[in-house]
Amino acid sequence: MVTDFFYPQPGGVEFHVYHLSQKLIDLGHSVIIITHDYGNRSGIRNLTNGLKVYYVPFFTFYRSSTFPTVFSAFPVLRTIFIREQIDIVHGHGSLSSLGHEAILHGRTMGMKTVFTDHSLFGFADIGSILGNKVLKFALSDVGHIICVSHTCKENTVLRGSLNPLNVSVIPNAVISKDFTPRETKLPIDDNITIVVISRLFPNKGADLLTAIIPRICAAVPKVKFLIAGDGPKFLDLEQMREKHFLQERVELMGGVKHEEVRNIMIKGHIYLHPSLTEAFGTVIVEAVSCGLFVVTTKVGGIPEVLPNHMMSFAEPDEDSLVSVTLNTINKFQNGLINTSTFHKEVASMYSWEDIALRTENVYNSLDLNKLNQPLFKRFQKYYCCGLIAGKLFVLIVVVDIFISIFLDYWYPKEDIDLVTKWPKNPKSKKRLRSLK
């Protein structure tokens, strides 16, 4: 597993990588994670079950992704790959240049590669155009690609000009025992509490949130809001609260740790999700697992995630969101919504064991004979990426091969010590296999 995004930073990719790794270890695989350093957290750390994490010191430049240097990580990655006797390189996140680099060098070293895409990108703005070109380059020669939702798959196939058969859809999951509903049911009277947990960025719909809260508060006199999360739009929310004298009814908690999310969620009846783009939306699944009803905007992959009796959809429009929310509050007060079965239903829908088995399936489907085609074929794949870009990409690959030869000469494989593997736990493997 190689990604720029990992613990101590919270987020969807981070948890996906961690939980998937844990379950793969349970399946009897040896998993290591390579990421860049976070503050003073650099070097090698061992997490639960002998999950080894390499925090490699790289320069980070934008939202904790490393500077795209193309070649600079090759020596250290090669050493780690050989030391740990790696067979499969699995990169995560399309903004993670470390992940892309690992896939490129892994291919140069003749290894199996998999890439997981966690996010959606448009085609219009300059950032996306550059990002898509990089993605096209990184994925030209990858073994298999995993996307977290069907919408994400369509998006990735278009962005990287890929064969859709080479792309699998494997969603995120939640640990359902971490997101249990409260033991005693919240009394449903006039006091309905609406929970929002989101980083307050414009693309998470913070502006919509700021616009609808005063309207909902005015329409239903006893509704309360509980908002957790921090971000550039926090100030706007505070100003809104002061302007409309809602200090008593809108609680702003600021940033919270992921462990606390459950305890915040169970204080509410409804989870409001005003995001403008979302590949999967793990937080919705977490909320439903905690026994909340979800009101969400109908964007990205959200409609695929949960059945209709667990959430209601609004357009990303202030009026629509207000009316749907009010409608839901009304239903709640009339006792038309029963959330008591949600937790069990979600537990049967999403589990990391299932995800790990499906990912293992992808790993098993990779065939080195098919992947390691003659060099000329590999060049052809890159050359077709674009008029100028294609030539540039071929040049990069050629340089990469030269670096590989150089490294093989100066730091021969035989001189690199192999690590002792963490002892396997035979019980867990059996248990998971029986699930299959």
Side chain identity at 161, as an amino acid letter?
A: S
Compute the least distance from the CB of residue 285 to another protein, in Å. 9
Asked whether 101 and 73 are in contact (CB, 8 A), the reply is yes
Task: Quote the least distance from Cβ 119 to another protein, whole Å.
Answer: 9
Q: Residue 330 or residue 365: which is nearer to another protein going by CB? A: 365
Q: How far is the CB of 163 from another protein (least distance, A)?
A: 9
Site for another protein in 130-189 (CB under 8 A): 146, 149-152, 154-155, 157-158, 164-171
Q: Of 178, 169, 315, 185, nearest to 260 (Cα)?
A: 178
As measured in angstroms, the least distance from the Cβ of 148 to another protein is: 8
Reading the block at residue 14, the tokens are: 């981070």
CB of 123 to another protein, least distance (A): 5
Report the distance separating Cα 35 and Cα 48, nearest Å: 17
Instruction: State how far the Cα of 272 lies from the Cα of 63, in Å rounded to an integer.
Output: 26
| # residues near another protein by CB under 8 A | 51
Smallest separation (angstroms) from another protein to the CB of 209: 10
Question: What is the distance between the alpha carbons of residues 195 and 250, in angstroms, rounded to a whole number?
Answer: 10
Q: Yes or no: say if 96 and 68 are a contact pair by the CB < 8 Å rule.
A: no
The single residue listed with the structure tokens 């994670």 is 33
Measure the CA–CA gap between 5 and 265, rounded to whole angstroms. Answer: 25
Query: What are phi and psi for residue 399, nearest 5 degrees?
Result: -60, -40
Who contacts 84 (Cβ-Cβ below 8 Å, separation ≥6)?
30, 32, 52, 418, 419
Distances (CA, A) of 7 to 11, 15, 257, 359, 434: 9, 8, 12, 21, 31
CA distances to 46, 194, 238, 326 from 243, in Å: 49, 20, 9, 22
What is the pattern of x (binds another protein, CB under 8 A) and - over residues 353-392?
A: -----x--xx--x---------------------------
Nearer to another protein, 212 or 407 (CB): 212
158 or 219: CB nearest another protein: 158
Nearer CB in complex with another protein: 192/299:
299
Nearer to another protein, 3 or 172 (CB): 172
Q: Is 232 in the site for another protein (CB under 8 A)?
A: no
Nearer to another protein, 84 or 238 (CB): 238
Residue 373 CB, nearest approach to another protein (Å):
17
Site string for another protein, 321-350 (x = CB under 8 A): ----------------------------xx
Q: How far is the CB of 106 from another protein (least distance, A)?
A: 21
x/- contact string, 248-287, with another protein (CB under 8 A)? ----------------------------xx-xx-------
C-alpha distances in Å from residue 245, one per residue of 100, 209, 210, 214, 228 = 49, 16, 14, 9, 19
Q: How many CA atoms lie within 13 A of 65 on its CB side?
A: 17
Nearer Cβ to another protein, position 99 or 281? 281
For another protein, what does the binding mask look like between residues 61 and 100, x meaning CB under 8 A? ----------------------------------------
419: CB partners within 8 A, 6+ apart: 83, 84, 85
Which of 97-105, 119-127, 219-227, 262-270 is the region at the interface with another protein (rule: CB under 8 A)? 119-127
CA–CA separation, 432 vs 436, rounded Å?
Answer: 7
Stretch that binds another protein, among 2-10, 200-208, 228-236, 413-421 (CB under 8 A): 200-208
* Residue among 55, 52, 79 at smallest CA distance from 66: 55
Residues that bind another protein (CB under 8 A): 120-124, 146, 149-152, 154-155, 157-158, 164-171, 203, 205, 207-208, 211, 215, 276-277, 279-280, 297, 299-301, 304-307, 315-319, 349-350, 358, 361-362, 365
